[in-house]
Amino acid sequence: MASPSALRELQRDLETKANDLSKLQKDIAKNHQVRKKYTIQLGENELVLKELDLLKEDANVYKLIGPVLVKQDLAEANANVRKRIEYISAELKRLDGTVQDLEEKQNSKKDAVLKVQQRIQSLQAGKAKV
């Protein structure tokens, strides 16, 4: 009978698929973490922007670069922060896209795994009958 070899093959198939699935899940988790980090950064930047907006024109603004504080123009700082916010937002959007993509992949993988499991089960049941 060919069923033992077929069964073995199916099981190997299942294993690889399950591995893929877990890899995908790991990716998604990592993505979520990055996303969280960016969200926090975005919040911080927005806070900074708010405070910078509240500052008067002649206020002294410094930026910490490495170990030194470098004096910066308020307008310059403002522009920098704005740019940064833009960048982070774009990044967040990109991450959203990838997460969605990954989740789709995950779902299809899940389906595949389920199908293989069912086939194995039916094969085993057939064997038990025979």
**Distance separating alpha carbons of residues 7 and 118, to the nearest angstrom:** 12
Stretch 1-40: interaction string toward other proteins, x if CB under 8 A: ----------------------------------------
Taking the CA atoms of 81, 83, 86 and 92 in sequence, report the sign of the dihedral they define: negative
Window 77-96: residues binding other proteins (CB under 8 A): 77, 81, 84
CB of 9 to other proteins, least distance (A): 21
* Closest distance to other proteins from the beta carbon of 85 (Å): 10
Half-sphere exposure of 78 (CA within 13 A, CB side): 13
CB of 116 to other proteins, least distance (A): 12
Alpha helix positions (H), the chain: 3-54, 74-129
Whole-angstrom distance, CA of residue 63 vs CA of residue 69: 5
Binding stretches for other proteins (CB under 8 A): 41, 44-45, 47-48, 50-52, 54-55, 59-65, 69, 72, 77, 81, 84, 114, 117
